[in-house]
Amino acid sequence: MRSFPPFDGLLAFEAALRHASVTRAATELGLTQSAVSHRLRRLEDFVGMPLLVRQPGGLSATAAGIALSNELAGLLERMADFRALCRAAAPPPALRVGIGAALADYWLVRRLPEFAKACPGIPVELVIIQGDGQARSADLDVKVLWQPAAGLRPTSTQRLLFREQVYPVCHPRLLPGRKPLTDVTRLRSLPLLHKGRAGEDSGTEWSWTTWFERLGLGRPPPAEIRFATIATAIAAALAGNGIVLARSLLVQDALRDGSLLRVLPPSWDLPSSKVQIVRWTPAMANDARVKAFVDWILQIPKTPGD
């Protein structure tokens, strides 16, 4: 069985010879002087002869020490080269992107293959954000956030992604003729899907009461079923359970493939009181992966006709 020299002794020897001092070698290695001396003795015991001698100007190598130093220099250079090769071969870390569940499920995941084609070699890990607390605490490189529009503006660490429109959509079987209603009074006879808790202020654009008043229909019928999230409300609409007030990005693909239809003409659309923004930390401002992702997501067409 082969025996190998103590690696810590080799490092101590290289540092001591380079500095011509055990004291300076100990400082570089973060060790005590006695610890370095102990490692040198173990190495000399392994070799079976002295490697260093004390001279008036400091430490110098014996003939055996010179031979070992020559071999060790090449070994350490090869190890450094090998380390660099390993780093070059290692895959880049995944770009961690935080995003709300609804926008991820109904919009972004279908487009990520396009990012992989446009920016090969940048793996992406999607992290679903649930609430502002998680958005602040999660270890994320980029965040796509649903924020109140008031006061938001582009900065060095965020860009406006899109201000969505809100409008009612439903399964085609609820709209004979597959066209928006020309007689809005028919809306009273269709099942309505409600998002959020009763009395919850998510913006007037999400209130069926607001929509019925705009249409001159009086008050809407009371809600029989409510959905905690827009994602589940849209899922119910896709199943044909009723009409949902939806955000334009979330139903963009469903409108394009015909699995959902507009209930009213676009002239009735309401702008959302919140906007989608893409944000990153100042520490990631010069990260090429972040720049590539942000540039890509800002360029994605965001309306059904694009």
Residue matched to tokens 């827009």:
230
Per-residue pLDDT tens listing for the chain (306 residues): 567 788 888 888 888 888 888 888 888 888 899 998 898 899 888 888 888 888 877 888 888 878 887 877 777 666 666 555 545 555 568 899 999 999 999 999 999 999 999 999 899 999 998 766 555 556 789 999 988 887 678 888 889 988 899 999 999 999 988 889 989 999 999 999 998 776 565 668 999 999 999 999 999 888 778 898 899 999 999 999 999 999 999 999 999 999 999 999 999 999 998 999 999 888 888 889 999 999 999 998 766 543
How does DSSP assign 212-267, residue by residue?
HHHTT--SPPPPS-EESSHHHHHHHHHTTS-EEEEEHHHHHHHHHHTSSEESS-GG
Domain 7-89 has CATH 3.40.50.2000: no
CATH superfamily of 165-271: Periplasmic binding protein-like II (3.40.190.10)
Residue 124 three-state SS: strand
The single-letter code of the amino acid at 145 is L
Sequence spans of domains, the chain = 7-89, 95-160+279-299, 165-271
Two tokens, residue 222: 């009371």
Q: How many degrees, rounded to 5, is the angle at CA 81 between CA 6 and CA 287?
A: 120
d(CA 100, CA 53): 67
CB 142 within 8 A of CB 280: yes
Residue matched to tokens 């190598």:
61
pLDDT confidence of residue 196: 76
Q: Give the start-end residues of each E strand in the chain.
A: 52-55, 58-61, 95-100, 124-129, 142-148, 158-162, 165-170, 192-195, 226-227, 243-247, 261-262, 270-271, 274-280
CATH class of 95-160+279-299: alpha beta
pLDDT confidence of residue 113: 94
Same fold, 7-89 and 95-160+279-299: no
